[in-house]
Structure 1
Amino acid sequence: MPLPLLALMLGVFCVGTAEVVIAGVLPEMSADLHVSIPTAGLLVTGYALGVTIGGPVITLLTTKWARKALLLGLMGVFIAGNVIAALAPNYGTLMGARVFTSLSHGTFAAVAWHVAALMSPPDKQATAMAKIALGFNFANVLGSPIGTFIGQQFGWRSTFVYITVFAVLCLLLIQKFVPSALSTESDTAEEGASLREQMKVFRKGSLQLSMLITVLAQGAVFTTSTYLAPLLRDVGDFAPAMVAILLIVFGIGSVLGNILGGKGADANVMRGVLRAQTALLAALLLFWAAAPHQIPAIVALFVFGAAGFSIIPALQARILAVASAAPALALSANVSAFNLGNGLGAWLGGTTIDLGFGVRSVTLTAALATAIALLLSVAMWARGRQQSPDLPPLDTSTTGTPLTQKTP
């Protein structure tokens, strides 16, 4: 991986790890801070709300900043927030530190994706964005387990020290390897636009529909992934000790899917979106059929991981294609859409179980959400064809055409 992309990917790894690692050290935090585990769990909720709400706002307010300076500033905020969290004397201070830290998350991820696209040839932009998204994969597969282990062995405060060390390394890599001159015509136009002009990008029906598809597709992934442990143990009859190993299989699949999703979107953005969602639908149905049988279930788990994470670069490439007037703002809003999808998925899966359908049925609920997202994607493509009949079949951006080009 080129060093500039590695620096950005490491930054995404840091913010992704900060979001999910708390779940692994909740008992330690609860005991040390003298709060209940559900109260300690609100530290995850507070961070997620900060990402969802703060990301687009911070992005909008920092549009005129140079991209590299903005990345450095956001990582500085992230480092400061984690230092405060490590030193927090009580729960209230820790919650404030978590919310403060989260304000850097959405904008950093969005700007990192945008900068990766700007640094890449037109026919490699989605692949570059997929490499940045690998940071989120590694946050789940490596960052969170390592942070949990450190927190359990040396105290929960050491988990924040661990995150801070990687964040400082990321800051140094960005300073050294990410170029300062990144502006394109569309980027310059965005920097010169007023807040009101940038907000107009959300009036586009294609952007609104793309973000709704993100919520539904990501929601489908989390409807199942949130309940993987009971699904594997209660339906697949795997031993509890095997679940951690099987989650590594899921993580390996997610890394592969992320790369393939980027390559597919490079060739043709809209076709990449449709293929990723079709693969996710097929994977979920396969998982439902294979869940009670251990060997097929392992295969289905790997396929689900690959299909589930192939949607991320495809959907982000689509957002970049339809929001040329304010790409960073739109990408940041789509990060919020991914977070909304996470919450929606967890709720859908829990509701499915509470209604008495059983944990295996979460895969069918997820398949239904995916089918709706797929139908909306087909409708979006058909609408684009009506507005621009000269578009090639299933195409909004072909090889050699920059994703930042204005499209229907």
Structure 2
Amino acid sequence: MPLSLYLLALAVFAMGTSEFMLAGLVPDIAANFGVSVGAAGILTSAFAIGMVVGAPLMAALARRWPARIALLGFVLAFAVAHTVGALTTSFVTLLVTRVIAALANAGFLAVALSVAATLVPANQKGRALAVLLSGTTVATIAGVPGGALLGTLLSWRATFWAITLLCLPAAVGIMTAIPAHAGVTGQDTSAGRSLRTEIVQLTTARLSLVMLLGALVNAGTFATFTFLAPIVTDTAGLGELWVSVALVLFGSGSFVGVAVAGRLSDQRPGIVIGVGGPLLLLGWLALATFAAQPVALLFLVFLLGSLSFALGSTLITRVLYEAAGAPTMGGSYATAALNIGAAGGPAVAAVTLGGHAGAVGPVWVSSLLVALALLIALPLLRVIAPRDRQVIR
């Protein structure tokens, strides 16, 4: 894999850390600005919504820019938003910076996904996606716990400064290592496809189907991941320190899952979906059943991180293949599918927290969402993951 892919992954690492670390900083932010924890939680929702809306919007805006300039612009905008956020004394201003950061993140990821697919041979999109998404998985392993620790030792503002600093080498790397002709933005759009033509691709059955499946699996992943802390402390009865351990285990599993799927999702996606999908469902059901057992909980958290990201990244790879007719917008479709799930899953799961199931309610939501995805996917497996060719036009 080319060096440029790993530099893009560095930026994805910074952005993923920013997106996920906020959950551990909300109480401190609320106290600092004199608002309720619930009000401070809006910062997380604003970021998720900004990602969903921003992916197609920013990709459409940047589709006629040279890819290298678009990527650099989004990284610098992300860094500036965090600098302003670290300095502000206004909660409203902080909220605005989160929306701007989300738009920049969405734009970067949408362009980066499209660019990554052009930096490798046509039959290696899955491996390229695995490298790119490794930035997100490493963020869950190291970035999020590190950000939480930095916030505890110094302040939540220090974590914002750290994100700004991480963006700087990524920006330098983009300018020096990303080829000027990389990607399909800018001048390549004149070769043929209008924005309307690319948007029409969303009406194709296969693309819509794999986007739906990707959103459902990702919703299941984040339904439980978002509320993992109360499962660890309330259901399993472990101390707060074990929350970080569980998060690291989940992140480590996700890294393994993406790495393995990257080897299979190009040539054998059917194996990942047909075998990994049922195993993932069984894993969620096992977690809902044995969450009160600490050893079983920690083992299953690692396993589910692996299976969730293996299946999810494979489905997102299928989005890139099926969106081949939308070269500048395909990355935004993949990004939107990811973040619709990331925003919708926790929203549904939150409703169950006050119910009979208690802290494991979100795990049952994850089980139902994956079951629904399998009910749709398994009968259509040869359509979703054709054996003889990877892109069907």
Q: TM-score, normalised by structure 1?
A: 0.88
User: Conserved in 1, the CA contact under 8 Å of 2:280 and 2:308?
Assistant: yes
Equivalence for 2:143: 143
Give the Å deviation of 1:397: 6.2
Equivalence for 1:321: 321
Provide closer, same or farther for how the CA distance between residues 334 and 63 of structure 1 changes in structure 2, counting only shifts above 3 A: same
Equivalence for 1:387: none
Matched, 1:217 2:207: no
Matched, 1:396 2:366: no
User: Conserved in 2, the CA contact under 8 Å of 1:46 and 1:95?
Assistant: yes
Q: What is the rounded CA distance, in whole Å, between the counterparts of 1:2 and 1:143 in structure 2?
A: 24
User: Conserved in 1, the CA contact under 8 Å of 2:232 and 2:242?
Assistant: no
Equivalence for 1:389: none
Give the Å deviation of 1:270: 4.1
Equivalence for 2:204: 204
Q: What is the rounded CA distance, in whole Å, between the counterparts of 2:226 and 2:184 in structure 1?
A: 40
Q: What is the rounded CA distance, in whole Å, between the counterparts of 2:28 and 2:240 in structure 1?
A: 22
Equivalence for 2:300: 300
* RMSD across aligned positions (CA): 2.4
Matched, 1:159 2:159: yes
Give the Å deviation of 1:13: 0.9
User: Conserved in 2, the CA contact under 8 Å of 1:133 and 1:312?
Assistant: no
Q: What is the rounded CA distance, in whole Å, between the counterparts of 2:94 and 2:180 in structure 1?
A: 34
Give the Å deviation of 1:344: 2.4
Give the Å deviation of 1:61: 1.9
User: Conserved in 2, the CA contact under 8 Å of 1:64 and 1:192?
Assistant: no
Q: What is the rounded CA distance, in whole Å, between the counterparts of 1:22 and 1:291 in structure 2?
A: 25
Amino acid aligned to 2:280: L
Q: What is the rounded CA distance, in whole Å, between the counterparts of 2:94 and 2:211 in structure 1?
A: 32
Equivalence for 2:176: 176
Equivalence for 2:81: 81
Equivalence for 1:312: 312
Matched, 1:351 2:351: yes
User: Conserved in 1, the CA contact under 8 Å of 2:114 and 2:183?
Assistant: no
Range with bigger deviation, 31-40 or 68-77 = 31-40
Range with bigger deviation, 347-356 or 310-319 = 347-356
Q: TM-score, normalised by structure 2?
A: 0.91
Amino acid aligned to 1:109: L
Q: What is the rounded CA distance, in whole Å, between the counterparts of 2:166 and 2:54 in structure 1?
A: 23
In structure 2, stretches of 5+ residues that fail to align are none
Q: What is the rounded CA distance, in whole Å, between the counterparts of 1:33 and 1:50 in structure 2?
A: 22
Mapping of residues 325-340 of structure 1, within 5 Å = 325-340=325-340
Q: Residues 3-53 of structure 1, C-alpha deviation per residue, up to 9 Å, x if partnerless?
A: 212111011111111212222222332233232222222122212211111
User: Conserved in 1, the CA contact under 8 Å of 2:115 and 2:183?
Assistant: no
Give the Å deviation of 1:328: 4.1
Mapping of residues 142-291 of structure 1, within 5 Å = 142-183=142-183, 188=188, 192-291=192-291
Q: Residues 285-338 of structure 1, C-alpha deviation per residue, up to 9 Å, x if partnerless?
A: 232343233333322221111111112320121001111121442331332222
SS at match of 1:7: helix
Give the Å deviation of 1:55: 1.6
User: Conserved in 2, the CA contact under 8 Å of 1:321 and 1:396?
Assistant: no
SS at match of 1:243: helix
Provide closer, same or farther for how the CA distance between residues 38 and 184 of structure 1 changes in structure 2, counting only shifts above 3 A: closer
Equivalence for 2:370: 370
**Count of matched residue positions in the alignment of Structure 1 and Structure 2:** 392
Provide closer, same or farther for how the CA distance between residues 126 and 235 of structure 1 changes in structure 2, counting only shifts above 3 A: same
Provide closer, same or farther for how the CA distance between residues 396 and 359 of structure 1 changes in structure 2, counting only shifts above 3 A: same
Provide closer, same or farther for how the CA distance between residues 291 and 38 of structure 1 changes in structure 2, counting only shifts above 3 A: closer
Give the Å deviation of 1:166: 0.4
Equivalence for 2:94: 94
User: Conserved in 2, the CA contact under 8 Å of 1:65 and 1:191?
Assistant: no
Q: What is the rounded CA distance, in whole Å, between the counterparts of 1:169 and 1:276 in structure 2?
A: 36
Q: What is the rounded CA distance, in whole Å, between the counterparts of 1:184 and 1:5 in structure 2?
A: 15
Dislocated runs of 4+, deviation >6 Å: none
Range with bigger deviation, 238-247 or 205-214 = 238-247
In structure 1, stretches of 5+ residues that fail to align are 385-393
Equivalence for 2:116: 116
Provide closer, same or farther for how the CA distance between residues 95 and 268 of structure 1 changes in structure 2, counting only shifts above 3 A: same
Give the Å deviation of 1:361: 4.7
User: Conserved in 1, the CA contact under 8 Å of 2:33 and 2:91?
Assistant: yes
Provide closer, same or farther for how the CA distance between residues 10 and 190 of structure 1 changes in structure 2, counting only shifts above 3 A: farther
User: Conserved in 1, the CA contact under 8 Å of 2:63 and 2:189?
Assistant: no
Q: What is the rounded CA distance, in whole Å, between the counterparts of 1:115 and 1:200 in structure 2?
A: 21
Q: What is the rounded CA distance, in whole Å, between the counterparts of 1:353 and 1:271 in structure 2?
A: 34
Provide closer, same or farther for how the CA distance between residues 279 and 127 of structure 1 changes in structure 2, counting only shifts above 3 A: farther
Give the Å deviation of 1:67: 1.6
Q: What is the rounded CA distance, in whole Å, between the counterparts of 1:142 and 1:340 in structure 2?
A: 25
Range with bigger deviation, 108-117 or 149-158 = 149-158
User: Conserved in 2, the CA contact under 8 Å of 1:190 and 1:325?
Assistant: no
Amino acid aligned to 1:370: V
Q: Residues 64-100 of structure 1, C-alpha deviation per residue, up to 9 Å, x if partnerless?
A: 2222221111112112212221222311222222211
Amino acid aligned to 1:272: V
User: Conserved in 1, the CA contact under 8 Å of 2:64 and 2:189?
Assistant: no
Provide closer, same or farther for how the CA distance between residues 121 and 194 of structure 1 changes in structure 2, counting only shifts above 3 A: closer
User: Conserved in 2, the CA contact under 8 Å of 1:206 and 1:380?
Assistant: no
SS at match of 1:175: helix
Q: What is the rounded CA distance, in whole Å, between the counterparts of 2:74 and 2:184 in structure 1?
A: 22
SS at match of 2:340: helix
Amino acid aligned to 2:292: P
